[in-house]
Amino acid sequence: MQNTIYQKLLSNKVIFSLIFLILLVAPMLLSDFRLNLLGKFLAFAILAIGLDLLWGGYTGGVLSLGHGIYFGLGAYCMAMYLKLEATGGAIPDFMAWSGMSELPLIWIPFQYPILAILLGVIIPAVVAFFLGYLTFRNRISGVYFTILSQALVIVVVTLFIGSQNLTGGTSGLTNFETLFGFHINASSTQTAFYWITVFILGAVFFFSRMLVKGRFGKVLIGIRDGENRMRFLGYNPSAYKTFIYTLSAAIAGLAGMLFVLQVGIISPTMIGIIPSIEMVLWVALGGGRGTLIGPIIGAVFVNTAKTGFSESYPEYWTYFLGILFVLVVVFLPNGLTGLFEKWNERRKNKNVSNSIRVEKSVS
């Protein structure tokens, strides 16, 4: 009955479990450092799924160049807890030399790990909800929304850098020691973080898939392809958009927390304009609108390419990466998975013996 592309793509559970199998045996094959990198990429992949919900496949047209903020908010929440645990409840050094003698009010909740983790999801979601509610209600869309999200990035980054006594300024937060008493940089802890990341990636993936597989997903596609038409079918697209925007922000916050645990630092450079656009590039290059697996591929692929190029050619890697971006965007409008879909389509069309000839609509 349901017959859209993405569902077919997900039908094969065997292959699917194979991917997860590989992710699960990776700790045995990779060195600590590489495993740590893979874990970081998978954290990015989690964010990319959220972005794909918003932009790639569903509720189309909502391109946020501001997801670095939500990633950053989640990351900072986690980092604040880690920092406090590292200092043993004393105030962090950067506050001390900014002339503070007591823990500021907004840091107080972050003494408690569970609360910090919850806030790491809730704060991005709340911020996104307000922004989404206002903009979508006023039917700001397309390019305007995109530029607006960039303006917000500048506001947040400038504020984070400017309030050095609260956020550590440009240096951000780093030098952590323990989480729940486990030494954060120990090999075993890092492997555990990797597993947690894989598990959360799986959970986010299946949750998102479940969400969009049903009627809800069709409504989202409807909004993507004809927002006004949906209004006259009795839907309120702004509510849906706000919901997905909020959800994707929460997912980004989750990804940010996993990032901090594995990388051990968060700074405003990770939440600015450049990383925010990079995040969209992962989704665009992964492609396969609405497959939800495309962004995972994109995030892992782009970051692998970036790391690989920069390690092999530290002086010229930006050329390679730049050329790669241009080539994929120009020649593979649907990204890497699009390449595959196209091929898939062609093969299928050859084999089709159905009476009704299906012409692929131009998307």
CB-based contacts of 358: which residues, under 8 Å, 6+ apart?
352
| Piece of 106-114, 121-129, 198-206, 327-335 that binds other proteins (CB under 8 A) | 327-335
In the complex, least distance from residue 300 CB atom to other proteins, rounded to whole angstroms: 7
In the complex, least distance from residue 284 CB atom to other proteins, rounded to whole angstroms: 5
In the complex, least distance from residue 67 CB atom to other proteins, rounded to whole angstroms: 14
Q: Which is nearer to other proteins, 123 or 297 (CB)?
A: 297
In the complex, least distance from residue 110 CB atom to other proteins, rounded to whole angstroms: 19
Q: Within positions 175 to 194, which residues make up the interface with other proteins, using CB under 8 A?
A: 175-176, 185, 187
> How many angstroms separate the CA atoms of 279 and 285, rounded?
10
Q: Within positions 50 to 89, which residues make up the interface with other proteins, using CB under 8 A?
A: 63
Q: Within positions 2 to 41, which residues make up the interface with other proteins, using CB under 8 A?
A: 2-4, 8-9, 11-12, 14-16, 18-19, 22-23, 26, 29-34, 36-38, 40
For tokens 């799986």, the residue is 202
For tokens 């993936």, the residue is 205
Q: Within positions 336 to 355, which residues make up the interface with other proteins, using CB under 8 A?
A: 336-337, 340-341, 343-344, 347-348
Report the helix count and the strand count for the chain, using DSSP H and E. Answer: 16, 4
Contact of 294 with 339, CB cutoff 8 Å: no
- Give the per-residue contact string, 120-159, with other proteins (x = CB under 8 A; - = no): --------------xx--xxx-xxx-xxx-xxx-xx--xx
CB-based contacts of 221: which residues, under 8 Å, 6+ apart?
4, 57, 58, 290
> How many angstroms separate the CA atoms of 307 and 299, rounded?
12
| Piece of 46-54, 112-120, 197-205, 332-340 that binds other proteins (CB under 8 A) | 332-340
> How many angstroms separate the CA atoms of 59 and 195, rounded?
31
Tell which residue, 77, 230, 54, 58, has the closest CA to residue 146: 54
In the complex, least distance from residue 82 CB atom to other proteins, rounded to whole angstroms: 11
